[in-house]
Amino acid sequence: MKVPQHVAIILDGNGRWAKAKGMPRNYGHAQGSKNVERICEEAWKMGIKYLTVYAFSTENWNRPKDEVDALMKLLRSYMKTCLKTAAKNDMKIRVIGDKSRLDQDIRDRIDELEKATVNNGGLSFQIAINYGSRDEIVRAVRRLAQDCVDGKQTASEINEEILESYLDTHDIPDPDLMIRTSGELRLSNYLLWQLAYTEFYFTDVPWPDFSKEELEKAILQYNARDRRYGGVKEEPQNV
Ligand code: IPE
Ligand code: IPE
Ligand code: MG
């Protein structure tokens, strides 16, 4: 079986999962965060090299303040656990998104986590926090425009590769497979540039229930896809 090199996940459905159990939404977030750790381990065991998860979108600030506060609290404690698991699993962490809107203590923890794991050779794990794809592109273009003003870039020479190098995901290959849990069939501003040729897999399973077996199902379906990049399928040569 062909294992995708890079899997991107929109981990959705924490709230609905909790509600169905008669529990508060924040309980769903706590269980969802535990599941992120489990899936990181399973993904690496399966041979996945890059995993990118959507933890908090630029639009998620529109949620009720107590839910946003609970999510930030969870992120704080997740960063701590992650520092330990990353040391154990040799995981390399990068946070993508606009960190400037996050509280200083969270930014410090992110810096610590990124610095401590930068030379690790295990799973490359990207966490999207205060991430929105349109925002990412705007931030990239802003820096690129400034570099043109400063004479470091030439407008007429800008190409896809140069623009890409300004994105939060620079140096990370595009996802091969994108999974969204819990039934919604949209991208919600996730990796719009990077997903240009990615295979999509949608499942009704809510994120806290998304297990190793569910990941295997997604990979199995990915294997059944006829991947093309604008060309015709390469048929094996008859000799
Ligand atoms: C995903 O679960 C986690 C975050 C967006 C932080 P949701 O909170 O979106 O759960 P539902 O979609 O409302 O069930
Ligand atoms: C997308 O989920 C963002 C994350 C998973 C962090 P949402 O639940 O916020 O997306 P919408 O609002 O249903 O599009
Ligand atoms: Mg949701």
Q: Which of 49, 215, 53, 225 is nearest to 120 (CA)?
A: 49
**Is there an atom of ligand 1 within 6 Å of 208 CB?**
no
Q: Would you say residue 41 has pLDDT above 70? A: yes
Distance 13 CA to ligand 1 centre (A): 5
Instruction: Say how far apart CA 90 and CA 32 lie, in whole Å.
Output: 22
The number of the ligand 2 atom at minimal distance from the alpha carbon of 12 is 5
**Of the candidates 173, 184, 135, 212, which has an alpha carbon nearest to the alpha carbon of residue 52?**
173
11 lines ligand 1 (CB under 6 A): yes
12 is catalytic: yes
Distance 207 CA to ligand 1 centre (A): 9
Residue nearest to atom 10 of ligand 2 (CA): 188
Upper half-sphere CA count for residue 47 (Cβ side, 13 Å): 7
Q: How far is CA 115 from CA 88, 109, 122, 204, 237, in A?
A: 16, 10, 15, 36, 48
The predicted structure's pLDDT at residue 233 = 81
Q: What is the pLDDT of residues 104-160, one digit of tens each?
A: 999 999 999 999 999 999 999 999 999 999 999 999 999 999 999 999 999 999 999
Spatial distance between the Cα atoms of 200 and 116, rounded to a whole number of angstroms: 33
Mean pLDDT of 68-89: 95
Question: 236 falls in which pLDDT band (50, 70, 90)?
Answer: low
List the CATH code of the domain at 6-132+173-224. Answer: 3.40.1180.10
Which residues form ligand 2's pocket by a CB distance below 6 Å?
Answer: 10-12, 54-57, 60, 184, 186, 188
What does the pLDDT average to over 10-38?
Answer: 98
Atom of ligand 2 nearest to the CA of 186: 14
Residue type at position 105: D
Q: Which residue has the higher pLDDT, 10 or 1?
A: 10
pLDDT the model gives residue 10 = 99
The DSSP code for 60 is G
Instruction: Output the pLDDT for position 237.
Output: 63
Please report the pLDDT score of residue 238 as a whole number.
61
Mean pLDDT rounded to a whole number for the chain? 96
Q: How far is the CA of 147 from the centre of ligand 2 (A)?
A: 33
Domain ranges (residues) in the chain: 6-132+173-224
Q: Are 102 and 91 in contact (CB under 8 A)?
A: no
